[in-house]
Every structure is written in C-alpha cells, then in structure tokens.
C-alpha cells in the first residue's frame, strides 16, 4: 500500500505544488484545509482517490490529530499575514505549528517538513518574524529531525507579489513601494515544493534550509522588471518608512474597526519587515544542498503576467503586426 502524507494548507500557494509532486511520487495525499469544498481542484493531481481534501482547523487538537492519524509524514504550509483576529500570527505560526509538531510526534510520525520564512528571528523587529521563529522552536522541540524551509519571497502563477503589483498598474500611473532599496532573493514556488518533497521522501536530511533564487534584487529593481514584463510605463515612488509606518497603523485601525471587512493595504508589521533584507545567509544550506537548480524569474514570470499587458493576450499579436508593417 502506498505511503500517506498529510499536508496542512495543501491547497494554498505552495501547498498545492507540494501536493502535486507528492502524488507524482506515488504517495497518497491528504490535503488538510479549513474549506475542503474550495480545495476540490487538488483531486486531479493524482489518480482517483489519491489526493483528497479534508477539513482541519489547526487551532484545535482533535481536528489536527484526526488528519494525522495513519500518516507516514506531515508537511506544514500554513501561514498568515494577519496580525489580528482568531487566525493571527500567534495562533497560526506559533501555536498552530507547535500543535502540528507535537501531535504528529504523538502519532508516531517521524518525518516532518515545515515551511517557515527567511528572517525568522525570536528577536526580530516584526511580529511576523518572531512568530515564525516561535513556530520553528516548537518544531525543534517536538520534531528535532524536521526539515525546515525558509524561502525568500516566492513567485509563481498564483503569487500575491508580482500579480498584486501588476494589478495596481491598471489603476494608477504611479506605483508606490515601501523599502525600495530592500533586497530580495525571489524563489520559484515549485523549487520550494521540490525541496519539501526531498524532505518527505527522506532523500534530504533534516535541518534548516534558506531558499533563494539565483539573483538578488532590490524591491525597486523587481518592480522595474515587472513593468518591463507587462510592457507598461509607471513611475515607481518609494514611500519613506516613517510615512509608511503611519499609513500601516491607519490601515490596521480601519481593518479592525470594520471587523476585517476592509482589508489592510499595508500593515505596520509589514513595514517593519521591509526594513530588513530578505535574502539567504551566505553560510546557510539552500537549494544547491538539495541538488535543485534555482529557477530565474525570467524563465517563469512573463508567462503568467501577460494578462496585465495593455492588450493582454493580444499584445504579442499587435507587436507582430507592427513588425509586418515595418517590413512592408
């Protein structure tokens, strides 16, 4: 009988890639999510019955234990950017991750992969960084041999990074950024999924791996590249951290007063995070230690950002037509 892996957050941005690759490896995949009916798209990742979404609330012991029962390995991909509400940093990235580690150990599961983030630091400036570090601590306590992945900002067709800023260019001639000189090392989401698979299958030893792409670029440089990819001209305006902090506090307040109905465009905690570079440490193990070649943004990004071009899918056709006229 094939082995079984439970993937918490297996229908999310990175989780779906891990689920697909685990199915290709021949494993049965249990996708543990809060809304199984919205995760039915994962079923075709394998043969009938191989990949199944199931309900789980990682804030509840019984719920977590139920989806771990009978599994040979577990992967935690659940994360949040919400500093408030029931599913906040502490509930999800600290207590939730620790609960998964503790209960998986109690269920006799010795293989654990945990998705953290570059910048995880118990003394970090942001709540996000501190909660990620707390989650790692919980993993180390209950699953000392866990493989912990710390990716930089991830890119891919469903990302909320390039897609978000590309969408903003449709509405304004100005593209505001906070931390224009902050450096990132964008990593392809499927490269992160491949790293997780190496851990689940036992082909890679446990420990912490910091995952970054082949290049390091500033926030401004990434936005300039994005504009080139969607063939739009916009003025990139760097918002000073002082002003951005005020904007984040106001946005947080409006979000809380509205009961979450009005999402925060940028939070004060995100501003604090953007003060620090988001790149892999030079002495850290990374994709190369796992035998995974890093994918460049040029190899992927233009192929999913084309809807944001002025003429969308017809942009290339119009360019081709111009070339024909010039030859004539």
- The position carrying tokens 């990949």 is 51
Mean pLDDT, 10 residues at a time, over the chain (328 residues)? Answer: 93 98 98 97 96 97 97 96 86 96 97 97 94 97 97 97 96 94 98 98 96 97 97 95 93 82 85 95 96 97 95 62 56
For 114-143, b/e burial (b = at least 16 CB within 10 A) is bbbbbbbeeebebbbbbbbbbbbbbbbebb
Residues in the chain: 328
- The per-residue pLDDT for 259 is 77
Q: If you write DSSP's letter for every residue of 84-110 in order, what string do you get?
A: SSTT-HIIIIIIIHHHHHHHHHHTT--
Mode of pairing for the β-strands spanning 28-33 and 4-8: parallel
Residue 90 and residue 218: Cα distance in Å, rounded? 29
CATH number of 4-158+186-215+277-295: 3.40.50.720
- pTM score, whole prediction: 0.92
pLDDT of residue 254: 85
Give the CA angle between residues 36, 41, 42 to the nearest 5°: 80
């Amino acid at each position: 009988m094939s082995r079984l892996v439970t993937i918490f957050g297996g229908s999310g941005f990175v989780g779906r890639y891990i689920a697909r690759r685990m199915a290709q490896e021949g494993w049965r995949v249990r996708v543990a999510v809060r809304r199984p009916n919205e995760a039915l798209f994962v079923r075709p990742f394998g043969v009938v019955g191989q990949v199944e979404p199931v309900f789980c609330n990682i804030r509840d012991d019984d719920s977590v234990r139920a989806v771990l029962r009978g599994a040979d390995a577990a992967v935690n991909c659940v994360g949040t950017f919400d500093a408030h509400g029931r599913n906040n940093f502490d509930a999800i990235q600290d207590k939730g991750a620790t609960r998964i580690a503790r209960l998986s150990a109690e269920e006799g599961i010795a293989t654990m992969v945990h998705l953290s983030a570059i910048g995880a630091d118990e003394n970090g400036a942001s709540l996000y960084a501190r909660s990620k570090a707390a989650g790692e601590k919980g993993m180390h306590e209950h699953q000392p041999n866990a493989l912990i992945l710390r990716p930089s900002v991830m890119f891919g067709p469903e990302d909320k990074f390039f897609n978000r800023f590309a969408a903003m260019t449709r509405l304004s001639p100005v593209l505001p950024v906070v931390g224009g000189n902050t450096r990132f090392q964008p990593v392809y989401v499927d490269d992160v999924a491949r790293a997780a698979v190496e851990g689940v299958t036992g082909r890679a030893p446990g420990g912490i791996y910091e995952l970054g792409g082949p290049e390091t670029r500033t926030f401004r440089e990434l936005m300039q590249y994005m504009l080139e990819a969607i063939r739009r001209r916009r003025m990139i305006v760097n918002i000073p951290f002082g002003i951005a902090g005020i904007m984040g506090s106001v946005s947080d307040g409006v979000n809380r007063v509205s009961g979450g109905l009005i999402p925060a465009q940028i939070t004060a905690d995100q501003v604090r995070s953007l003060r620090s570079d988001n790149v892999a440490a030079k002495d850290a193990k990374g994709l190369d230690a796992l035998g995974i070649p890093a994918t460049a943004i040029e190899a992927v990004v233009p192929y999913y950002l084309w809807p944001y071009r002025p003429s969308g899918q017809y942009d290339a056709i119009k360019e081709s037509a111009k070339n024909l006229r010039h030859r004539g």
